[in-house]
Amino acid sequence: MGAVETERDGRVLIVRVDNPPRNLMDRGLVADLTALLRSVEGDPTLGAVVVTGKPADLFITHYDVAEMVEGAEQGMPQVSASVAGASYRALSVVARLPGAKQALRRTPAGGTLDLQALHGLFTRMERLDKAVIAAINGQALSIGCEFSLACDIRYMADDARAIGLPEMTLGVMPGGGGTQRLSRAVGQARALELILEARCLTPAEALEAGIVHRVVPHAELLEAAVETGHRLARRPNFSTRAVKRAVLDGASRPLPVGLATERSWWLAAAVRPPARRAMQRYVDDVRRSERLPWEDEETREAWRQGTVVDLIGPDD
Amino acid sequence: MAPTFLAERDGPVLVVSFDSPPYHVIGRQMVTELTTLVRGLEHDSTIRSVVLTGRERGMFPAAYDVSEMLDMVTDFPATPPRRLIELLYRVTAAAAKLPAARGALARTPAIGFLDLDAFTSLLRRLERLDKVVIAAINGTALGGGWELALACDLRYLAADVAAVGQPEVTIATPPGGGGTQRLSRAVGRARALEAILDPRLPAPAEALALGFVHRVVPADRLLPEALETAHRLADRAPVSVAGVKHAIYEGASRPLPEGLALERRWFTAAAAARERA
């Protein structure tokens, strides 16, 4: 895979994006990342994925503007949002037919296919049964930001210049899920202002706004992300998937529906052997020490690190 | 068995002080007693706000009783398909509403589901109550204990509490008492997802900064401040309190037009109630 380099570090897969000269997101990179995700889906030997940029100070920058312009020029005449939406849906169906993709590629609809592939990639990341951590080592604007929003956890280098969705300054709007994922990530009020104003945030501001979870000195960024990756990879993939599905699917539905989603994932996870082993160990610890393990900071940390009980067994 | 809490009236405010030794965890008995109390409150217009707290420092419900959780799943085969378990759950919960079926269910593995159903239904009842419910958290509140706090309308946290949050993933399950849903809605999906996948369990200052709680208060001021708020909010019209809670809890995660319709219905009801008064 040309634009991505992978390295296995125990149960963590480190993915370095390398798409010279500018680490732009383009058709090829979307295809490479999609192929990579397909190959790790359901792989029980991997528990977390860390994505970073290979060049020292480049994460994923924006979408290849040349490709976008080409798409817009061949593509859509001026149409209303509802007409564009209907054509998008129709094309999505047609593109599933064998051979249709190659044929459509040569028509004005080519740009739409790219957008569809990009959305497919992001959804695949959210559905993956492993934690996906973005180690944002350079500025993350437009697609770079949208890519990171499709990751579960975002760590950012203290010297990465900015993160945000400045599409409005180019006369377009975010199209890779930015309006949806940013609103759900930090709330509508903040998202609307940031997108309308095309305001990009420094790492410190992004942390304050809740867009990134941690700001780390540049030299320690990857190490910090990989360390978290190892910790999260000590949980069974089923539990990680259960949490992701309950939060990502459940939390944007009506509350009763979301609660039912959570409940069914809880039940399915709680009856599995790793959960039974962990609960049994917890109960034994309480009996022996006559206190709750979570009451004590050191023990709480050991549980968090996933070192108290081995949850990764052949039975998960 | 001694009751798991003491409920005392202070004018229009009901103070529920938990005390469930030895571990101060939530279990079948506390859920049953609290459900009885809340059902009574649904028909008691003289109580206008409720404060939930630990009778002494460290007595706020610390977690759900894990030994009871283990009982819930013990008699189950290890890896039935998720949809099958969900189906069994629904059938069990529905059947349990018939008094005659309860005895029969008690002899099947599905009986554990009834405990989960009782806990989650209790939290829904708190949300639907036409009174303001305030959690005055004066002890570690994790897992089910934190989910109880999340189902309250306001959360005040004593400054000396060690940690709050959802560590369930460390025992290989997601939260099961609404934590994934209520935390995401309270603080946004980004912070919630990290807090649940990698539970650092914030101490008070961070809990406040992340939006987990509304106020952090010195330990000796916690109950007085919660009571002051409870008394101040006690004169709000019941239909308005119910309307605001319902419009926000139910409406804010629906498509906007539905949420707006919900708000409109409650507003009309509140206006009509004021007219009659």
Outline where DSSP puts E strands in chain B: 5-10, 13-18, 49-54, 132-137, 141-142, 154-158, 164-165, 215-217
Q: What is the pLDDT of residue B13?
A: 98
Measure the CA–CA gap between A106 and B21, rounded to whole angstroms.
72
Measure the CA–CA gap between A144 and A124, rounded to whole angstroms.
16
Which member of B127, B168, B206, B225 is catalytic? B168
Q: What is the pLDDT of residue A72?
A: 61
Least reliable range by pLDDT among A36-45, B93-102, B142-151? B93-102
Contact predicate B144/B61, CB 8 Å: yes
Query: Cβ B193–A244 below 8 Å, yes or no?
Result: yes
pLDDT surpasses 60 at A47: yes
pLDDT surpasses 60 at A283: yes
Q: Which of B85, B88, B126, B197 would best serve as a mutation to test chain A binding (most A beta carbons within 10 A)? A: B197
Q: Which of residues 162-191 of B touch A (CB under 8 A)?
A: 162-163, 167, 169-176, 178-181, 184-185, 187-191
A96 band by pLDDT with thresholds 50, 70 and 90: confident
The string of pLDDT tens digits covering residues B164-196 is: 999 999 999 999 999 999 999 999 999 999 999
Query: Cβ A266–B174 below 8 Å, yes or no?
Result: yes
Does the ipTM exceed 0.95?
Answer: no
Mean pLDDT of B113-127: 94
pLDDT surpasses 80 at A313: no
Strand pairing report for B5-10 and B13-18: antiparallel
Is there a catalytic annotation at residue B263? no
- The residues facing A156 across adjacent strands are A136, A215
In this structure, which long-range contacts are made by residues A3-10, counting pairs with CB atoms below 8 Å and at least 24 apart in sequence? A3/A28, A3/A29, A3/A32, A4/A29, A4/A32, A4/A33, A4/A36, A5/A54, A6/A36, A8/A46, A9/A226, A9/A229, A9/A230, A10/A230, A10/A233
Strand pairing report for A153-157 and A214-216: parallel
Identify the closest residue of chain B to A211 by CA–CA distance.
B190
Q: What is the pLDDT of residue A247?
A: 96
pTM of the model: 0.93
Percent of residues, chain B, with pLDDT higher than 70: 99
B230 band by pLDDT with thresholds 50, 70 and 90: very high
| Closest CB from A238, A247, A303 relative to B167 | A303
Which member of B42, B68, B127, B147 is catalytic? B147
Instruction: For residue A47, count other CB atoms closer than 10 A to its CB.
Output: 26
Q: What is the pLDDT of residue A316?
A: 58
| Closest CB from B74, B172, B191 relative to A269 | B172
The per-residue DSSP string of B69-114 comes to HHHHHHTS-S---HHHHHHHHHHHHHHTTSHHHHHHHTTSTTHHHH
Mean pLDDT of B218-242: 97
Identify the closest residue of chain A to B120 by CA–CA distance.
A259
Q: What is the pLDDT of residue A262?
A: 95
A153 interaction partners in chain B (CB closer than 8 Å): 193-194, 197-198
Mean pLDDT of A53-77: 76
pLDDT surpasses 60 at A304: yes
pLDDT surpasses 80 at A75: no
| Closest CB from B89, B176, B189 relative to A262 | B176
A61 band by pLDDT with thresholds 50, 70 and 90: confident
B104 band by pLDDT with thresholds 50, 70 and 90: confident
Does B199 touch chain A if contact means CB atoms closer than 8 Å? yes
The per-residue DSSP string of chain A comes to -TTEEEEEETTEEEEEE--TTTT-B-HHHHHHHHHHHHHHTT-TT--EEEEEESSTT-----B-HHHHHHHHHHSPPS--HHHHHHHHHHHHHHTTSTTHHHHHHTSTTHHHHHHHHHHHHHHHHHH-SSEEEEEE-S-EETHHHHHHHTSSEEEEETT---EE--GGGGT----SSHHHHHHHHH-HHHHHHHHHHT--B-HHHHHHHTSSSEEE-GGGHHHHHHHHHHHHTTS-HHHHHHHHHHHHTGGGS-HHHHHHHHHHHHHHHHTSHHHHHHHHHHHHHHHHHSS-GGGSHHHHHHHHHT-SS----TT-
| Closest CB from A271, A283, A308 relative to B80 | A271
The string of pLDDT tens digits covering residues A100-130 is: 776 766 665 666 778 899 999 999 999 999 9
Residues 6+ apart with CB under 8 A from B145: B25, B26, B60, B61, B62, B63, B64
Average pLDDT, chain A: 90
Query: Cβ A272–B176 below 8 Å, yes or no?
Result: no
Average pLDDT, chain B: 93
Is there a catalytic annotation at residue B168? yes
Query: Cβ A270–B73 below 8 Å, yes or no?
Result: yes
**Closest-CA distance of chain A to residue B142, Å:** 8
pLDDT surpasses 80 at B77: no
A76 band by pLDDT with thresholds 50, 70 and 90: low
